[in-house]
Amino acid sequence: MITQTEIRLNGYPRGFHLITDLIEQKLPDLPEKGLVHLLIKHTSAGLTLNENADPSVCDDFERFINKLIPENHPVYTHVFEGSDDLPAHIKSSIFGAELTIPITKHRLNLGTWQGIYLCEFRNHGGSRKIIATIFG
């Protein structure tokens, strides 16, 4: 059986935000086993799995990715929507727009220290939509 639901996220500030609990709350009842596929429907935000225990991970991600892909780089030509726009598109492509997570015993089967992160790459990205497709 395949089911699908849309999860709406309120706007988050730029940065990396742990959203595992929010995703789990918004999902319908999960099957005994299967997969959940998450797709964020935006080109300037992403999804990733990483450590969920130490909040400094979020800050370090933000500092590193901004150094790796800076704003106002002279090679950018797509600058109409602001200095954070093109870097946000590049960051989204690097981190990715989707995750697939196994379901075991009606729960997301994540590692002990794994969490789902919203990667908000715009200064004012606004609300975001994630499509959750459940196979099982």
* pLDDT over 70, % of the chain: 100
Q: Which domain holds residue 49?
A: 2-135
Whole-structure pTM value? 0.95
3-class SS at 102? Answer: strand
Q: Work out the burial of residue 18: count CB atoms within 10 Å of its CB; fewer than 13 is exposed, 13-18 middle, 19 or more buried.
A: middle
What is the pLDDT, as a whole number, of residue 91? 98
Write out pLDDT tens, residues 25-70.
999 999 999 999 999 999 999 999 999 999 899 999 999 999 999 9
Q: Number of structural domains, the chain? A: 1
Q: What is the CATH number of the domain that holds 120?
A: 2.60.120.460
3-class SS at 10? Answer: coil
Question: What are φ and ψ of residue 88, in 5° steps?
Answer: -65, -40
What is the residue-averaged pLDDT of the chain? 96
